[in-house]
Amino acid sequence: MNDAEREGASPSAADPLAQLDASEQASLVARGELSAGELVEAACRRIERVDGLLGAVPIRLFDEAIELARSGESAPGPFAGVPFLMKDVGARQAGQPYYAANRALMEADHRAAADTPLGARFRRVGLVTVGKSSAPEFGLQSNTWPLVYGPTRNPWDPRRAAGGSSGGACAAVAAGLVPVAHASDGAGSIRIPAAWCGLVGLKPTRDRVVWRHAGKGRPDVEFVVARSLRDTAALLDALRADVRSARAGEFGAALERPVERLRIGVLTEAPGEAAVDPDCRALVLEWADRASDAGHFVEAGGPASLCEYAERALHGAVLGPIEYRACLDELEERLGRAAGPGDVEPYLWELSQLAVGTSPAAAAAAMRWNEAWVARTLSFFEDCDVLLTPTVAEPAPLLEALDPERHDPLALLEKMVPHMAFTEPWNATGQPALTLPLGRTRAGLPIGLQLVGRRGAEARLIGLAAELLARSPEASRARPPIHA
């Protein structure tokens, strides 16, 4: 990478389609102004031309995507013909590589035997998968630097992190390679990279998009990351698990419906010891004032349970390694053999070994404490409709600070935990949380405002988000220096 590229110079020959969100691209196909094949071919060219600066799309499925789009056999859904990226962790589509950024799965060329339910739903709404976005191994980090692919760079400053674990998805959408991409969120993995890359990122209510009957209470959810709130609402309507609900279309309708007077809490101090960047704090206070000016009742404060950080961390030290061990179990199932330290990155291996010796009684006690903590946290929202926080306590850090080959696993984890201070609690409670690209640091880096709502209240969050974005329309139109 030359000096101009490191400073963010965009490649030449910009594509006007890269400026359009998924709804606009779909409307071109629906009106017959462009074919699905033309849309998909243009996206493939953008990836070829720009992704060398980012490292966002390590797996490319161009031939299959172009053939599908040209054949007219893609589903005639609301996003028919729109180019799309699947994340290399989570939902799968039949026949496509599924490596989870793991060397052993890559060497075995592991492929999905069938669509997962969400993978099938992506097809049904008409999205055409042109590639798979980068993620950390098994999606376990708040930055995207898998050893098999290398780092994903932030299009606002390629010296900086794109975030994780949906870092490849966010870098690609922010740079205009595709208008929307699959993403997942177990502790902030949609919202952290969306905030650092200047995007809209919604973590839906648990089970809104993917039902996990066997894993009730799991913190991870899957959805998409998007450039526009309009796409976010439309795709939530299209992808919701209860698609036959009598409330179908409610999220798109929320964009236009007047917002009732809300009770809004404001939290600017991070749980634990994470220091909050002054620009991130100022962003929240600025938009709290704007919400008050719009007629909402705004009051400082958040759930008192967030102050129980030290005790919660102790229980997390019991349950976290069990989750890492579960990733090894998944790998062993796919490989058909036992996994050893040479099959995974040191980060996963060393942290998974901390689960050895954890008794079932200790794990059960930690889970009971967490369930009680969730109940205490949810009680705050009996008198609060929406909580405003920074999405992340700081803007995107320099990549070198998160280099997995320069830091041992525990040191790397310690560096990443503060990134999740404002995001992870809502994975535990199952509440919806939405990051909006409503600010920049004095150095010009994007930072996000997070809106947290009651369980099932995505429509309220989307309505408030639309009201806030209308007060700063230029915020969502900003484009990074590296853009197609």
Digit-coded pLDDT (tens) for 405-444: 999 999 999 999 999 999 999 999 999 999 999 999 999 9
Stretch 20-33: mean pLDDT:
97
Q: 């490319």: which residue's tokens?
A: 60
Q: Is 305 a catalytic residue?
A: no
β partners of residue 153: 161
Q: Give the span between the Cα atoms of 180 and 86, in whole angstroms.
A: 10
> Is the per-residue pLDDT at 140 higher than 70?
yes
DSSP character string of 139-159: G-SSS---TTT-PPEETTEEE
pLDDT band at 1 (very low <50, low <70, confident <90, very high): very low
Query: Residue 277, Cβ neighbours under 10 Å: how many?
Result: 17
Kind plus residue range of the DSSP H or E element containing 297: strand 297-300
Q: Is the pLDDT of residue 2 over 90?
A: no
Buried b (16+ CB within 10 A) or exposed e, 39-53: bbbbbbbbbebbbeb
Please answer whether residues 299 and 266 qualify as being in contact, where contact means their C-beta atoms are separated by less than 8 angstroms. yes
pLDDT at residue number 212: 59
The helix (H) or strand (E) run that includes residue 194 is: helix 191-197
Q: What is the pLDDT of residues 163-218, one digit of tens each?
A: 999 999 999 999 999 999 999 999 999 999 999 999 999 999 999 998 754 444 56
Give the three-class secondary structure for 261.
coil
Least confident of 134-148, 209-223, 361-375, 453-467: 209-223
Query: Which of 12-21, 64-73, 232-241 is predicted least confidently?
Result: 12-21
Quick one: which of 224, 197, 200 has its CA closest to 469? Answer: 200
pLDDT of residue 74: 76
pLDDT in tens, 150-164: 999 999 999 999 999
* pLDDT over 60 at 36, yes or no: yes
pLDDT mean across residues, the chain:
94
Set 10, 23, 134, 165: catalytic member: 165
- Is the pLDDT assigned to residue 73 strictly greater than 90? no
More confident residue, 246 or 300: 300
Residue of 128, 123, 94 whose CA lies nearest to 111: 94
Beta bridge partners of residue 133, listed in sequence order: 87
Q: How confident is the model at residue 3 (pLDDT cuts 50, 70, 90)?
A: very low
No. of helices (H) and no. of strands (E), the chain: 17, 13
Select which of 10, 74, 189, 228 is catalytic.
189
In the predicted model, is pLDDT for residue 145 greater than 90? Answer: yes
Rg of the chain, C-alpha, whole Å: 21
Tell me what pLDDT residue 232 has. 99
**216 given a catalytic annotation:** no
State which H helix or E strand residue 388 sits in: strand 386-390
Whole-number pLDDT of residue 474: 82
pLDDT of residue 13: 65
* pLDDT confidence of residue 377: 98
Global pTM value: 0.96
The answer, yes or no, to whether residue 301 has pLDDT greater than 60, is: yes
The label of the residue with tokens 């998160």 reads 402
Mean pLDDT of 372-387: 98
Check 10, 23, 74, 87 and give the catalytic one. 87
Find the DSSP H helices in 86-184: 103-107, 117-124, 167-174
Is 314 buried (19+), middle (13-18) or exposed (0-12) by CB count in 10 A? exposed
**Statement: residue 146 has pLDDT above 60:** yes
| Owner of token pair 């290399």 | 88
What separation in angstroms does the CA of 305 have from each of 375, 418, 449? 9, 17, 21
Q: Mean pLDDT over residues 313-330, rounded?
A: 94
Check residue 203 and report its DSSP letter.
E
Give the pLDDT band (50/70/90) at residue 8: very low
Does the pLDDT of residue 247 top 70, yes or no? yes
Tokens at 331, concatenated: 């790998």
**Structure confidence at residue 6 (pLDDT):** 40
Q: Is the pLDDT of residue 246 over 70?
A: no
Using CA atoms of 156, 158, 163, 167 in order, give the dihedral in degrees to the nearest 10.
90
